[in-house]
Amino acid sequence: MDAPQRRDRDPATRASIRRTAIVLATIAVVFFCGVFASRYIGDTSLAMTVIGGSVFAFLLFGIGRHLRR
């Protein structure tokens, strides 16, 4: 009998994992850059705006990906 193939070796699954990783890494970079910028500028409301924007982007991409299926 042939051994069953692992799901993580499927090219479509690997591409999906890579896209998810890129989205999460981008959101993390925006988050940290926004926090550093708010420290540099000295405006705390900018930090809250960036945090809110990061959460919104995460939800938008996360929910949007599942709606396309």
- Short-list 35, 38, 68, 45, CA closest to 60: 68
Enclosing domain of residue 65: 35-69
pLDDT score of 16: 81
**How does DSSP classify residue 52?**
H
In a domain, 51, yes or no: yes
- The answer to whether residue 8 sits within a structural domain is no
Average pLDDT, consecutive stretches of 10 residues, N- to C-terminus, the chain (69 residues): 64 84 82 79 77 79 70
Confirm whether 41 is domain-assigned.
yes
In a domain, 6, yes or no: no
pTM of the model: 0.58
In total, how many domains does the chain have?
Answer: 1
Q: Does residue 7 sit within a domain?
A: no
Interacting residues of 33 by C-beta distance below 8 A, sequence separation 6+: 50
**In this structure, are residues 30 and 57 in contact, taking their beta carbons and an 8 Å threshold?**
yes
